[in-house]
C-alpha cells in the first residue's frame, strides 16, 4: 500500500490536498484490499486514483473597466462506473488541480454512498467572485461555459455548485449552456425552482448533515440535538442551512464565520438573526462582522493568520459542524474542542479536518465523528433526485424530496456502521464510509472490465 501511495504521489507532484485524501482513504481500505486479491490483480487502487479525464482551459472575460482578465478553468471527470460524472464547480482564488482532484476523489465515494446512479467529478476556477459585480460574474460564467459545454451533458457529466457557485452562477452557466446547445436538459443541478430545479436542493447539504448527526446520536446514544450547544463555521449555503435545521431541532447555534472572521453569539442565532444573515450573504454579499454591528450580544473576532489555531473552535460546546472549507480544523483546534467537552463532530464541508485532527477524534470512544463523504451526502443525493425529476419532466413536493433524502441518509448511516463492524472497527464512521464507498465503486469497475 505504501508503495502504491508513493507512486501516486510521485506521479502527481505538488497536489498536496489530493495526496492527503488518497493517504487517508487508502489507509482505511487496506484490509479490504488484502481480503480481495482480485482488487490487487486489477491494479484497482492506481486506476481509482487516476481521473478518467482532466480538462483544463483558459477563461478570458472582460471586467467592468473594459480590461480583459484571464483565469484557469477545470473539470475533472474522475470516475463514471456508477453513473454520469457528478459534482460541484468551485470558484475561489485557492482553486488548483490538487484541490479539485481531492474533491472529485471524495465525490466519487460520497456519490456511491447515496445509492443513486452517480459517478464522481468536480471542477471550477481560480476566479474570485468576491467584490465582482453581477455583470462581471455573468461574463465570467458565460465565458467558462463556452468551453465547458462541449464536455458535459445530462447523461455525461452534471455539474452543481460548491464554494463561490450558488444560484446566481448556476443561472448564468445554465443559460449559456442552453443557448449554445439549443436544448433544455438537466445538464446542471441546483437550478432555480422555476426552471427545473428541485425543491429542497438549496437546503439539502445542511439539512442532510444535521439529519446524519441526529441519526448518529439517536442510534448510538439514544440522545437528540435538543438543548445541545453547537459551533458552526462558514456563513455560506451549507452553513446557513445547517444552522436552520439545528435551530429547528432545538439546538443552540453559537457561531458563524467567513474568511475575514467569526461571530460568537452567546444568546444563540435565532430564526430572525438567521434571516438577516441570509440577506447579508446572498443579497448584499456583505461580511460577517456586520452581524455583530446589528446584534450587540454577538462578539466579532477578525481572522488572525499568525495564530496556530482558529479561536472559533476554542469555545465550549457539545457539537461542531465545520461548514466552510478544507483543513479548517487542525490538530490544535481538535485538542481545543476535545478539552472543551465536544461530543459530536459532523463534517459538512469537504475534508474540513486535517488527518491529525481526524485521528484525535476517532481515537476517542466518547466522540461521534462523521466524515464528510457520509455527513455531507444529502446535497448530492438531492442533486440525484433533481436529475430523476428532470428525466421524468415533473416536480416532487418539498415534503416528498425531504422524505426521500431522510431515507437515503438513514440507510447511508447504517451502511457505514455495518461496514465498520464487518472490518472490526465498530462505530468508526470514517472506516465504514471509506470501505462501503470504495467497495461499491471498485466492484462496478471490476464487473465492467478493463476500460
Exposed/middle/buried for residue 367 (C-beta within 10 Å: 0-12, 13-18, 19+):
middle
8: helix, strand or coil: helix
Residue 445 near residue 44 (C-beta atoms within 8 A): yes
| CB-nearer residue toward ligand 2IT: 360 or 430 | 430
Q: Should residue 324 be labelled a site residue for ligand NDP when binding is judged by CB under 6 A? A: yes
Within residues 350-369, the interface with ligand 2IT by CB under 6 A covers 350
- Residue 189, contacted partner among ligand NDP, ligand 2IT, none, CB below 5-8 A by kind: ligand 2IT
Which of ligand 2IT, ligand NDP, none does residue 236 bind to, with CB < 5 to 8 Å depending on kind? ligand NDP
- Using the rule CB under 6 A, give the single segment among 75-83, 180-188, 221-229, 230-238 that binds ligand NDP: 230-238
Check: CB of residue 174 under 8 Å from CB of residue 188.
yes
Each as own residue / partner, the long-range contacts of residues 136-139 (CB below 8 Å, 24 or more positions apart, any chain) are 136/61, 136/63, 136/64, 137/168, 137/169, 137/172, 138/172, 139/61, 139/62
Could you give the C-alpha distances from 56 to 64, 75, 97, 144, 386, in angstroms and in order? Answer: 26, 7, 9, 11, 27
Please name which of 160, 295, 172, 287 lies closest in space to residue 236, comparing C-alpha atoms: 287
Which positions from 326 through 355 interact with ligand NDP, judged by CB under 6 A? 348-350
| C-alpha cell recorded at residue 293 | 454591528
Q: How far is CA 34 from the centre of its chain?
A: 30
Residue nearest to ligand 2IT (CB): 88
Name which of residues 67 to 86 contact ligand 2IT (CB under 6 A): 86
In the shown chain, the binding pattern of residues 202 to 241 toward ligand 2IT, with x for contact by CB under 6 A and - for none, equals ----------------------------------------
Q: Which does 371 bind (CB under 5 to 8 A by kind): ligand 2IT, ligand NDP, none?
A: none
**Is residue 380 involved in binding ligand 2IT (CB under 6 A)?**
yes
At 160 the three-state DSSP class reads strand
* Chosen residue from 196, 322, 379, 432 binding ligand 2IT by CB under 6 A: 379
- The reply on whether position 171 binds ligand NDP by CB under 6 A is no
378 binds ligand 2IT, rule: CB under 6 A: no
Say if CB 187 and CB 225 are below 8 A apart.
Answer: no
Closest distance of CB 372 from ligand NDP, Å: 7
Q: Which is nearer to ligand NDP, 325 or 415 (CB)?
A: 325
H/E stretch holding 175 reads helix 167-181
Query: Measured between alpha carbons, how far is 27 from 421 in angstroms, rounded to an integer?
Result: 17
Alpha-carbon distances, residue 59 vs 15, 146, 292 (angstroms): 22, 9, 38
Give the residue, chosen from 163, 170, 176, 292, that forms a contact with ligand NDP under the rule CB under 6 A.
163
Which among 327, 376, 288, 286 is positioned nearest to 88, based on CA atoms?
376
Of 162 and 328, nearer to ligand 2IT (C-beta) is 162
Interaction of residue 258 with ligand NDP, rule CB under 6 A: yes
Task: Number of residues interacting with ligand 2IT: please give it, by CB under 6 A.
Answer: 13
User: How is residue 197 annotated by DSSP?
Assistant: P
Contacts of 22 (CB under 8 A, 6+ apart): 5, 8, 9, 49, 105
Residues sharing a CB contact under 8 Å with residue 143, sequence separation 6 or more, in sequence order: 59, 60, 61
- Asked if 162 is part of the footprint of ligand 2IT (rule: CB under 6 A), the reply reads yes
- Contact region with ligand NDP (CB under 6 A), list: 36-44, 159-167, 266-274, 432-440: 159-167
Q: How far apart are CA 184 and CA 389, in angstroms?
A: 14
Q: In what order do the strands lie in the sheet with 261-265?
A: 255-258, 261-265, 298-302
Question: Counting contacts by CB under 6 A, is residue 157 touching ligand NDP?
Answer: no
- Rounded least distance, CB 208 to ligand NDP, Å: 8
- Residues of span 356-415 touching ligand NDP by CB under 6 A: 376, 379
Question: Is residue 254 a contact residue for ligand 2IT (CB under 6 A)?
Answer: no
**Residue 383 makes contact with ligand 2IT by CB under 6 A:** yes
Least distance to ligand 2IT from the beta carbon of 223, Å? 27
Partner from ligand 2IT, ligand NDP, none binding residue 310, C-beta < 5-8 Å depending on class: none
Judged by beta carbon, residue 142 or residue 242, the one nearer ligand NDP is 242
Q: Is 160 in the site for ligand 2IT (CB under 6 A)?
A: yes
Q: Is the Cα dihedral 231, 403, 119, 41 positive or negative?
A: positive
Between 33 and 208, CB nearer to ligand NDP: 208
Question: In whole angstroms, how close is the CB of 382 to ligand NDP at the nearest point?
Answer: 9
User: Minimal distance in Å, beta carbon 81 to ligand NDP?
Assistant: 21
Q: Residues interacting with ligand NDP, by CB under 6 A? A: 92, 94, 161-164, 166, 205, 234-239, 258-260, 323-325, 348-350, 376, 379
Q: Residues interacting with ligand 2IT, by CB under 6 A? A: 86-88, 107, 110, 160, 162, 189, 350, 376, 379-380, 383
Amino acid at each position: 500500500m505504501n508503495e502504491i501511495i508513493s507512486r501516486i504521489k510521485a506521479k502527481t507532484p505538488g497536489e498536496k490536498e489530493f495526496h492527503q485524501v488518497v493517504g487517508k482513504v487508502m489507509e482505511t481500505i487496506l484490509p479490504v484490499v488484502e481480503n480481495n486479491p482480485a482488487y490487487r490483480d486489477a491494479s484497482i487502487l492506481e486506476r481509482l486514483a487516476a481521473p478518467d479525464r482532466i480538462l483544463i482551459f483558459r477563461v478570458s472575460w472582460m471586467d467592468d473597466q473594459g480590461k480583459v482578465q484571464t483565469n484557469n478553468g477545470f473539470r475533472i471527470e474522475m470516475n463514471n462506473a456508477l453513473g454520469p460524472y457528478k459534482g460541484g464547480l468551485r470558484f475561489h482564488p485557492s482553486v488548483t488541480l490538487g484541490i479539485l482532484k481531492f474533491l472529485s476523489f471524495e465525490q466519487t465515494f460520497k456519490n456511491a454512498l447515496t445509492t443513486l446512479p452517480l459517478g464522481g467529478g468536480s471542477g471550477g476556477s481560480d476566479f474570485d467572485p468576491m467584490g465582482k459585480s453581477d455583470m462581471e460574474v455573468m461574463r465570467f460564467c458565460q465565458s467558462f461555459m463556452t468551453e465547458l459545454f462541449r464536455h458535459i451533458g445530462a447523461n455525461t457529466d452534471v455539474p452543481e455548485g460548491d464554494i463561490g457557485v450558488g444560484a446566481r452562477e448556476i443561472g448564468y452557466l445554465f443559460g449559456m449552456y442552453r443557448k449554445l446547445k439549443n436544448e433544455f436538459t438537466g445538464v446542471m443541478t441546483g437550478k432555480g425552482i422555476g426552471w427545473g430545479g428541485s425543491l429542497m436542493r438549496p437546503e439539502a447539504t445542511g439539512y442532510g448533515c444535521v439529519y446524519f448527526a441526529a441519526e448518529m446520536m439517536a442510534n448510538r446514544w439514544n440522545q437528540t440535538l435538543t438543548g445541545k450547544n453547537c459551533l458552526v463555521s462558514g456563513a455560506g449555503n451549507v452553513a446557513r442551512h445547517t444552522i436552520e435545521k439545528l435551530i429547528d431541532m432545538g439546538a443552540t447555534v453559537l457561531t458563524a464565520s467567513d474568511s475575514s472572521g467569526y461571530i460568537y453569539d452567546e444568546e444563540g442565532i435565532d430564526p430572525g438573526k438567521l434571516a438577516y444573515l441570509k440577506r447579508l450573504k446572498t443579497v448584499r454579499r456583505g461580511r460577517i462582522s456586520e452581524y455583530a454591528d446589528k446584534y450587540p450580544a454577538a462578539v466579532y473576532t477578525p481572522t488572525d493568520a499568525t495564530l496556530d489555531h482558529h479561536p472559533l473552535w476554542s469555545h465550549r460546546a457539545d457539537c461542531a459542524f465545520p461548514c466552510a472549507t478544507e483543513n479548517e480544523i487542525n490538530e490544535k483546534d481538535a485538542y481545543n474542542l476535545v478539552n472543551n467537552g465536544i461530543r459530536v463532530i459532523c463534517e459538512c464541508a469537504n475534508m474540513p479536518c486535517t488527518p491529525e485532527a481526524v485521528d484525535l477524534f476517532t481515537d476517542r470512544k466518547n466522540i461521534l465523528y462523521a466524515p464528510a463523504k457520509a455527513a455531507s451526502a444529502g446535497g448530492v443525493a438531492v442533486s440525484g433526485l433533481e436529475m430523476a425529476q428532470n428525466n421524468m419532466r415533473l416536480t416532487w413536493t418539498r415534503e416528498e424530496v425531504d422524505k426521500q433524502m431522510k431515507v437515503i441518509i438513514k440507510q447511508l448511516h447504517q451502511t457505514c456502521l455495518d461496514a465498520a463492524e464487518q472490518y472490526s472497527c465498530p462505530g468508526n464512521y470514517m472506516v465504514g464510509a471509506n470501505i462501503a464507498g470504495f467497495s461499491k465503486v471498485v466492484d462496478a469497475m471490476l464487473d465492467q472490465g478493463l476500460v
